[in-house]
Amino acid sequence: MKLLKKLFIDCETSALYCDKAQYNEATSMEKFQLKLHIVICKICRSHSIKNTKLTKACNKANLAKMPETDKAALKSKLEKEIGN
Ligand SMILES: [Zn+2]
């Protein structure tokens, strides 16, 4: 039962994993849990489809992506500012 509880995620978690998956940040376990949830949940399925379409559109538009190093620098700067 514990394993089943772990496998079946709620809609909130599903939305989070869906976003993570779009940015290639989801683990294979998270992707699996997301796919499983999408099979049983109509609402999240349509959310996922919309999200995939959006990602495809963004990729097509060839939007500039912030380099990881810049992102890390910005993040630490923000954390410093919030901390003060
Ligand atoms: Zn759902």
Q: 13-60 pLDDT, tens per residue?
A: 999 999 999 888 999 999 999 999 999 999 999 988 998 888 888 888
Total structural domains within the chain:
1
Residues spanned by the domain of 7: 2-83
Token pair for 20? 């993570």
CA distance 7 to 68: 31
Dihedral of the alpha carbons of 62, 79, 24, 47, in degrees to the nearest 10: -90
CA of 53 to the centre of ligand 1 (A): 18
CA of 34 to the centre of ligand 1 (A): 9
3-state helix, strand, coil in the chain (%, to 5): 80, 0, 20
Q: 64-84 pLDDT, tens per residue?
A: 777 889 999 999 999 999 886
CA of 6 to the centre of ligand 1 (A): 15
CA of 60 to the centre of ligand 1 (A): 28
CA of 66 to the centre of ligand 1 (A): 31
